[in-house]
Structure 1
Amino acid sequence: MQHTSLEDQARTLEATGAYRVLRRIAPLPLETQVPRDQTRVSLFLDLETTGLDPACHEIIEFGMVPFVYTLDGHILGTLW
């Protein structure tokens, strides 16, 4: 039995046209030179739905990535 990489398997699935394979976001290394009292933690949120009406549409994907930023808005990195 020959083993193939996960990426090769994902490409094979995508090539059928029946699948969409999501890939993990590469972590952004956290810069640590900024004093902790001058940073904040927040969350990127990605929400995919089947439509805009909550009475009849559904959430189909939900993703979150926590990150650290400075008080002036500079993103320092992700928390993984």
Structure 2
Amino acid sequence: MGLGRHVVRHAPAHGSGRRWSRCAPPQRRSVPPGPAQPPAAPSAKQVLAERFARGEIDEEEYEQRLTVLRAHGPTQGRSGSGET
């Protein structure tokens, strides 16, 4: 069956011709949702941009840190350095 609506013919009320109406297609059973996925963590560049936007770091520090992120790529970098 297609996804469109079904046309159903009803018997005429007083023999006065055809009456047509549209009916909604049959309901499909939905698949129960699986375990909820946690939202993806923002990238380091996104976090840096947010900190700059909030005024936590100035433009100079933003540019320096962005240069480091670009140089090391998305999977490398210092972890646990204690810098904020």
TM-score for both structures, normalised by structure 2:
0.21
Structure with greater contact order relative to length (CA < 8 Å, sep ≥ 6): 1
TM-score for both structures, normalised by structure 1:
0.22
Q: Which is higher, the Rg of structure 1 or of structure 2? A: 2
